[in-house]
A = this chain, B = another copy of it.
């Protein structure tokens, strides 16, 4: 996952999830790995990028459509993780749903 995601030509969608963790792991690491594995198998999933530094985490997932994003948001295992996120793992988070209109890359 430590590479820029290999997404198709725009338009496609991005979910930017920015978070501040609470102290301690409390099962977060295992669940995060599980959610990445599960998200990757959802219809319309295009890729994922994630980094955390000085407490601030940024995870960007890429999707074919808003419908794919909604289906993943409503996935029963994901909903369970979201509830645990609010009760145990996150002090604060912001989720932003975006349409990627243009991209360019260098290599």
Contact = CB atoms under 8 A, between A and B. Distances in A.
Contacts of A51: 51-54, 56-58
B100 A98 contact: yes
A25 interface: no
A26 interface: no
Interface string A58-98: 10100000000000000000000000011000111111111
A24 interface: no
Contacts of A98: 14, 98-101
25 contacts: A2-B55, A4-B18, A7-B94, A16-B16, A16-B60, A49-B56, A50-B56, A51-B51, A51-B52, A51-B54, A51-B56, A53-B53, A58-B60, A91-B107, A93-B105, A94-B105, A95-B104, A96-B100, A96-B102, A96-B103, A97-B100, A98-B98, A98-B99, A98-B101, A99-B99
